[in-house]
C-alpha cells in the first residue's frame, strides 16, 4: 500500500460521518427525539476524531504524488489549504458535539440539551459540512479533472 491509496481509503470517513451526522442533527432539531440527538452527536464526534488521520495521510499522499505527470501542484496546494481549514472546523465540531453528548449522558439524562447548545452544535455542524464538502470537491479535482490528462506526455497512455 502507498500513501495515496491509504488516503483514498481514509478520507471518506470524516466526509460521510459529517454528512450523516448533520442530516440526523437537522432531523433531531425538527422531531426533538433524544435518541436522534444522541446518534447525531456521536456521529459528529466520530467525524471530528476521524479528520486528523485523513489530514495526515493527505500530507503524505501529496508528497508521494509530487512527481506524477498528471498531478498539478496548484490543485494539490488548494486542496491542502482547504484540508487545513477542514481539520480545524471538524475538530471544533467534534469537540462541541462530544461536550453535548457528554452533557446529555451526565446532566440531562432524560432531556434534550439546552437550546443554546443545540443551536451551537447545529451552526458548527452546518459550517463544518460546507467546509468538508468543498475540501472533498477540490480533492476529487486533483485527479478526475486534471487538465494534463487531456494531453499526456509522449509514450504515456492516459487512464480510461
pTM of the model: 0.88
Q: How many CB atoms lie within 10 A of CB 146?
A: 16
pLDDT recorded at residue 10: 95
pLDDT recorded at residue 158: 67
Q: How many CB atoms lie within 10 A of CB 125?
A: 27
pLDDT recorded at residue 137: 96
**100, 113 in Cβ contact below 8 A?**
yes
Per-residue pLDDT of the chain (160 residues; tens, 9 = 90+): 799 899 989 999 999 999 999 999 999 999 999 999 999 999 999 999 999 999 999 999 998 888 888 888 899 999 999 999 999 999 999 999 999 999 999 987 788 999 999 999 999 999 999 999 999 999 999 888 777 777 777 777 766 6
Domain positions in the chain: 3-63+71-147
pLDDT recorded at residue 154: 78
Question: Which single residue is written with the C-alpha cell 440526523?
Answer: 24
Task: Bin 72: left if φ > 0, else alpha if -120 < ψ < 50, else beta.
Answer: beta
d(C-alpha 28, C-alpha 39), whole Å:
9
pLDDT recorded at residue 52: 97
Secondary structure (3-state) at 46? helix
pLDDT recorded at residue 144: 80
Amino acid at each position: 500500500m502507498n500513501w495515496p491509496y491509504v488516503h483514498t481509503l481514509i478520507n471518506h470517513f470524516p466526509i460521510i460521518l459529517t454528512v450523516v451526522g448533520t442530516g440526523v442533527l437537522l432531523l433531531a432539531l425538527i422531531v426533538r427525539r433524544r435518541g436522534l440527538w444522541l446518534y447525531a452527536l456521536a456521529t459528529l464526534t466520530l467525524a471530528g476524531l476521524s479528520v486528523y488521520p485523513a489530514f495526515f495521510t493527505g500530507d503524505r499522499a501529496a508528497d508521494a504524488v509530487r512527481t506524477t505527470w498528471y498531478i498539478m501542484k496548484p490543485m494539490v496546494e488548494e486542496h491542502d489549504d482547504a484540508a487545513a481549514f477542514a481539520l480545524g472546523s471538524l475538530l471544533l465540531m467534534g469537540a462541541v458535539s462530544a461536550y453535548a453528548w457528554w452533557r446529555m449522558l451526565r446532566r440531562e439524562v432524560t432531556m434534550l440539551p439546552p437550546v443554546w447548545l443545540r443551536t451551537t452544535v447545529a451552526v458548527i455542524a452546518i459550517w463544518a459540512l460546507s467546509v468538508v464538502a468543498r475540501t472533498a470537491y477540490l480533492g476529487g479535482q486533483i485527479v478526475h479533472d486534471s487538465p494534463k490528462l487531456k494531453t499526456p506526455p509522449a509514450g504515456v497512455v492516459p487512464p480510461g
